Amino acid sequence: MANYQIAIIVGSLRKDSLNRRIARSMCAMRGDNLECSMVEIGDLPLYNQDYDLQRPQPEPYVRFREQVSAADGILFCTPEYNRGVPGVLKNAIDVGSRPYGRSVWDRKPAAIISASPGAIGGFGANHQLRQACVFLNMPVMQQPEAYLGQVTDDSFDADGCLKDGPLKDLVGTLAHAFHDWVEMILRARELLEHDAARTERAAKKTQPA
Ligand code: FNR
């Protein structure tokens, strides 16, 4: 099984974030072939289009864009704030999408997990984020869906990892599915590029000298 570099972006800056702990637990479960690293977003200045013209670009923007670019896939793990995406995450999305034509999100396979102590598991934030991903040309894993409700401090052990139980099982299933999703998207892309190159070579051969 191939190893993939996964950038995890957590939509909460809170030290004891449930979402960060879910993300960490997922990495721990799937360390063999999802090489996870957290990409921090708390230091990104609020996006301002004037920055697009600035040279050099703000250092946190450069660091963030490089980390996202280097990843094979993106895992978003986010709470819901007032039925939507937390501002800090939306800011990161906007920073990565610019300057125009140089979006670091383009074609990156992604998955979205939303977790909340509430019953509906951040459904609103999850789908609002999906909407941005559609526009950004990111193939987002559709199943299994990951609206994790009723997550509390009690869901985790003293090391901050999920306790054994249905939630941990679901997160394990998500990790497997995400691995397969990234593989499918990257392989399909490789095949398409290979086909395009072959077609181009064939076209050159048939051209009169
Ligand atoms: C919340 N919370 C929340 N929960 C929810 O299910 N739907 C919501 O719309 C909101 N709105 C909301 C707004 C703001 C400003 C805060 C601070 C909180 C509760 C939220 O799910 C809870 O605080 C989580 O623990 C936040 O996620 P992290 O930080 O633990 O990952």
* Ligand 1 pocket check for 117: Cβ under 6 Å: yes
Strand duo 73-78 + 4-10: pairing: parallel
Confidence at residue 206, expressed as pLDDT on a 0 to 100 scale: 85
Confidence at residue 209, expressed as pLDDT on a 0 to 100 scale: 65
Confidence at residue 29, expressed as pLDDT on a 0 to 100 scale: 80
CA distance to 27, 28, 78, 157, per residue, from 31 (Å): 6, 5, 21, 19
Q: Using the atom order of ligand 1, give the atom closest to the CA of residue 118.
A: 6
Q: Delineate the domains of the chain, giving CATH numbers in brackets.
A: 4-206 (3.40.50.360)
Confidence at residue 30, expressed as pLDDT on a 0 to 100 scale: 63
Confidence at residue 27, expressed as pLDDT on a 0 to 100 scale: 86
85: left (phi over 0), alpha (psi -120 to 50) or beta: beta
- Read off the tokens for 202: 């064939």
Q: Which of 156, 158, 120 is nearest to 26 (CA)?
A: 156
Q: Using the atom order of ligand 1, give the atom closest to the CA of residue 16.
A: 30
Q: How far is the CA of 83 from the centre of ligand 1 (A)?
A: 9
Confidence at residue 32, expressed as pLDDT on a 0 to 100 scale: 60
Q: How far is the CA of 163 from the centre of ligand 1 (A)?
A: 21
* Ligand 1 pocket check for 87: Cβ under 6 Å: no
Confidence at residue 34, expressed as pLDDT on a 0 to 100 scale: 84
Residues of the chain with pLDDT under 50: none
The residue whose C-alpha atom lies closest to atom 16 belonging to ligand 1 is 81
Q: Using the atom order of ligand 1, give the atom closest to the CA of residue 77.
A: 31
* Ligand 1 pocket check for 14: Cβ under 6 Å: yes
pTM of the complete model: 0.95
Digit-coded pLDDT (tens) for 17-45: 999 999 999 988 865 678 999 999 999 99
* Ligand 1 pocket check for 160: Cβ under 6 Å: no
Q: How far is the CA of 188 from the centre of ligand 1 (A)?
A: 37
Distance CA 131, CA 129 (A): 5
Confidence at residue 33, expressed as pLDDT on a 0 to 100 scale: 77
